[in-house]
Amino acid sequence: MAIQKATFAGGCFWCMVKPFDRYEGVLSVISGYTGGDVENPSYELVCTNSTGHREAVQITFDDSVISYEELLAIFWRQIDPTDAGGQFFDRGESYQTTIFTHSTEQEELAMKSKQELASSGKFDKPIKTEILKAKPFYPAEEGHQNYYAKNPTHYKRYSIGSGREQFKTEHWGDQS
């Protein structure tokens, strides 16, 4: 067993937990903040778009069961990678998509997956998702953890109302 971490920013972190949480080999999915320079930021502070942080999920996984490449494929199917200004109706720096890499190998695999997506013809605009080296990750407040399970009705309404679900269906069908 080789335990690794993967960190992805895909807009609102509420919508980024459930897609990963259901896979064997995923040990935990934590909502939090990363990418900025402010230590221990709060949700309110990150939402000001003044900290450099993005809402993100940090996934702890067993790479003998699920590979980093598989996690990347799941990530791409949750976001609009052509939108540099945020995700769906969530706008601003804190909602920008980013792959935060924890090793040279992850960086190379992320670059490869981004290039493959760009050349796939799936999108008619350039892929804007950044690939950056991981910075300190700060878990979000408890109310944001596993939001989809704690607040299923509101989560579903938000996921549909934001346009995320429609986008995923249009671009990925039942693969999302």
12 has catalytic annotation: yes
Residues 6+ apart with CB under 8 A from 153: none
Radius of gyration for the chain, computed over Cα atoms and rounded to the nearest angstrom: 15
Question: Among 114, 122, 134, 146, which Cα is nearest to 8's?
Answer: 134
Q: Note whether 13 and 56 are within 8 A (CB).
A: yes
Question: What is the spatial distance between Cα 4 and Cα 64, in angstroms, rounded to a whole number?
Answer: 10
Question: What is the spatial distance between Cα 135 and Cα 30, in angstroms, rounded to a whole number?
Answer: 15
The active-site residue out of 12, 15, 30, 72 is 12
Question: What is the spatial distance between Cα 120 and Cα 114, in angstroms, rounded to a whole number?
Answer: 10
Q: Note whether 106 and 6 are within 8 A (CB).
A: yes
CA 83 from centre of chain: 14
Question: What is the spatial distance between Cα 137 and Cα 109, in angstroms, rounded to a whole number?
Answer: 21
Q: Which sequence positions are flagged as catalytic?
A: 12
